Amino acid sequence: MSATPRTPTSLTRLAPLGTDPVSSLWARLRRGARLLRRQADWDRFAGDGWPDRVMAEPLTDREHQKQGRSIGRKVFADDCETLSVYLKRHYKLSRVAGFLATLFPGRAWSPGLQEWQRICWAQELGIPVPRPVAAGQFVGPWGRLQGFLAVEELHGMLPLHEAIPRASRTLDARSFARWKRGLVAELARLARELHRRKVFHKDLYFCHFYIPEALTRAVPADWTNRAFMIDLQRLTHHTITAKWWQVKDLAQLMFSSEVEGVTARDRVRFWKLYRQGWPDGRAPRAWLAPLVCWKWRLYRGHNARKPSAVPYEKNAA
C-alpha cells in the first residue's frame, strides 16, 4: 500500500525564516528592518554593502519592468569567476504586508523571499529548480515594503516552447519520437509530484520548463531531473480547492503545448503517465479530463480574442 506523500514544509503558511536579531516594534516602525537570505558565494560577488545597493543595482541586460517590479540578468565578476543571476525586484508592495512584516519580522512577506522558500521546498522534494542565490525584504519605515530574489541563470538551457520545435527539426522522425516519449514521461512525473501533495504551480506553462540546449540534438538515455521548473512565486498548497487548481495547472500545460512537434498522441500519453504512481485511491478520475479540456478551450478562446497578447509569460529565470 502506497504511503501518503510527504510535504517537507507547509506552503499554506510559510514557516518562519529564523531567529534573526530584531529591534523593538517601535524602532522597526520608525527606522525599518531587513530580513536577508543568501548563499555562501553571494557576498563575494555582490561586494561589501550590497544590501544598500541591491534594489538600485544596474542590470547587465534583458531587463523588463512592469507595475512596480522588474526582472533582468545581472552578471557579477570576481577575478576570473563570474556569477550570472536573474534579479527580480519589487519596489512598492502592499502597505498591509509592510505593517505585517513590521509586526512579524521573522516571516516572508515579500514575493522574493516567499519564492526563495518555495524554491528551497522544491529542492528538498528533489524537483530540479534554479539555485536560489539571495533574497530579502526591506521593511519600513511606516509600513513600506520592498523585496528581491536572485536565482542563478540556467546556462545553456532553453524553454520547452523553443526546445521542442528545435529538436523536431534537428532529429530524425524516429529519434524525435523517442525523445518526446522520455520528455513526456518526465513532465508527467514532475506534475504528479506536485499534485499528489496538493501543491500547484499556477503558471504551469512550457515556458517555465527548461532543458539543456544540447538535448535538442540527441536522445538522452534518461530524462530524470533534466527538465528544470522555474517561476515558483505562486506555488501554493491547497486542500479544499485542490481539484480546481489541478485542472488549471493541467490546462495551462496543455494550452502551452500547442507548439511545433507536439501531437494529440503526446497529450494522451502524458495523461496516461500522469495518472500512474499515485497513492492508493488518489489517482485522477476519468471525469477530470473533460474539465481540463474545457479549461484549455477557455485559454484558447481568450488568446484568440487578444491575438497580440503573449499567452504566457516567458521569463528566462
pLDDT tens across 154-187, in order? 999 999 999 999 999 999 999 999 999 999 999 9
CATH fold group of domain 157-305:
Transferase(Phosphotransferase); domain 1 (1.10.510)
From the list 23, 17, 22, the residue with the least C-alpha distance to 38 is 17
Of 87-91, 105-109, 152-156, the one with minimum mean pLDDT is 105-109
pLDDT confidence band for 277 (50 / 70 / 90): confident
Q: How far apart are CA 98 and CA 145, in angstroms?
A: 5
Q: Is the pLDDT of residue 1 over 90?
A: no
Could you tell me the pLDDT band of residue 209, with boundaries at 50, 70 and 90?
Answer: very high
Question: Cis peptide leading into 141, omega within 30 of 0?
Answer: yes
pLDDT for the residue numbered 8: 54
Q: Is the pLDDT of residue 224 over 90?
A: yes
Residue 306: pLDDT over 80: no
Which residue ranges make up each domain of the chain? 25-152, 157-305
Pairing state of beta strands 228-229 and 209-212? antiparallel
Q: What is the pLDDT of residue 283?
A: 85
Write the DSSP symbol of residue 136.
Answer: E
Cα–Cα distance between 269 and 188 in angstroms, integer? 9
**Residue 11 confidence class, pLDDT cut points 50, 70, 90:** low
